[in-house]
Copies of this chain bind each other. A is one copy, B any other.
Amino acid sequence: MKCECGREAIERVGGRYYCKECYSKRYLSLVERSIRKYGILKRGEKVLAAISGGKDSVAMIAALKELEDKLGIKLEALHINLGIGEYSRKSEEVSRKVCEELDVPLHVVYLSEYGFTIGDVKRKACSVCGNAKRYIMNRFAREEGFDVIATGHCAEDIVANVLKNLYSGNFEWSEKLLPRIEGYFKFVSKAKPLYEIGEKENLLFVLSKGITFLPDECPKAPDPKWKELVYEIEKKIPGFKKGVLRSLVRREKVESELKSCKICGEPTSAEICQFCRNVKKFGKVRKIPL
């Protein structure tokens, strides 16, 4: 099949055939529209894009690079090496390669600098990992003067997390899934430029553009059942995903009392922040004085 422009089509989306070039254009305009609609990124902002090397974060940084001038942002990238053996080595390598290809300045932080790695963590690794990433991203961004942190969460990630929070009794956490969370206290603003974009669209974009990415799943990856569930519900209730995403942005913000962690001074609602508790629990030698 042919694209409307006459070139060979690579994909059919919403009844139309697209070639690589036209698909990429369409993708970029969707991302741009989404960013403007929700005010995800603002003119003049210094943006720190957190990238793992996977399809979603690579799609995000490639799209942001193409939209950099149009949106009036200044883009740099952060990769956190989590110390999950070969997987982390490859992730770092791919992240370096992508940023070189795209000509985006890259910062790399090693979790091991804090005295432990996710490779060390035997139980509940995903929750420890998530916490570490949030901690490092936020601290790095604030200390280096970034205005906002952008992450590559896609639509399915967000809906899967809403359902998971609903199931596990932490629904209030869903506040954190909003497309833009303004900074407050010691938190740097957070942005999800791919809030409305599906993971298949991200994959197709990086393939269309021929950008390097790491197809490997994290060896510690959680049970994929939540994301599968999103696909199953969508089949039964078409529009469910979009409905939930829209629903989320309509909710009101609830803030909890925050203070400074007694050990490191980072923001926390407890006496000692979760990251410091994890450092204490899993850390061997602390290389960075807090």
The interface residues of chain B lying within 8 Å CB-to-CB of A165 are 247
- Taken residue by residue from 250 to 264, chain A's Cβ proximity to chain B (1 for < 8 Å, 0 otherwise) reads as 111010000000000
The interface residues of chain B lying within 8 Å CB-to-CB of A243 are 166-169
A246 to chain B, nearest CB (A): 5
The complex places the Cα of A251 from the Cα of B165 at a distance, in Å, of 11
A122 to chain B, nearest CB (A): 24
The majority secondary structure among interface residues of chain A is helix
Q: Is A109 an interface residue (CB 8 A)?
A: no
B167–A240 CB distance below 8 A: yes
Interface residues of A (CB under 8 A from B): 162, 165-172, 225-226, 228-229, 232-233, 236-237, 239-240, 243-244, 246-248, 250-252, 254
Contacts A167-B244, A169-B250, A233-B233 known; 18 new A-B pairs at CB < 8 A: A166-B166, A166-B243, A166-B244, A166-B247, A167-B240, A167-B243, A167-B247, A169-B243, A169-B246, A171-B250, A171-B251, A172-B252, A225-B236, A226-B237, A228-B236, A229-B236, A229-B237, A232-B232
What are 17 A-B contacts with C-beta separation under 8 Å?
A165-B247, A166-B243, A167-B237, A167-B239, A167-B240, A167-B244, A167-B247, A169-B243, A169-B250, A170-B247, A171-B251, A172-B251, A226-B237, A229-B233, A232-B232, A232-B236, A233-B233
